[in-house]
Amino acid sequence: MARKGAVNYINDSKATNVAAAVASIGSIDGNVVLVAGGEGKGGDFSQLAAALEGKLRAAVLMGTDAEAIADAIDTVMPVYFARDMDDAVCQAATYAESDDTVLLAPACASFDQFDNYGARGDAFSKAVGALSR
- The predicted-structure confidence for 13-39, as pLDDT tens digits, reads as follows 999 999 999 999 999 999 999 999 999
User: Is 0.85 surpassed by the pTM of this model?
Assistant: yes
* Domains within the chain, CATH numbers bracketed: 2-130 (3.90.190.20)
Mean pLDDT calculated for residue range 56-64: 94
**pLDDT one-digit tens code per residue, 77-114:** 899 999 999 999 999 999 999 999 999 999 999 999 99
Q: Where are the alpha helices (DSSP H) in the chain?
A: 18-26, 46-52, 66-73, 85-95, 117-130
Residue 133, pLDDT > 80, answer no
Phi, psi of 81 (to 5 degrees): -115, 140
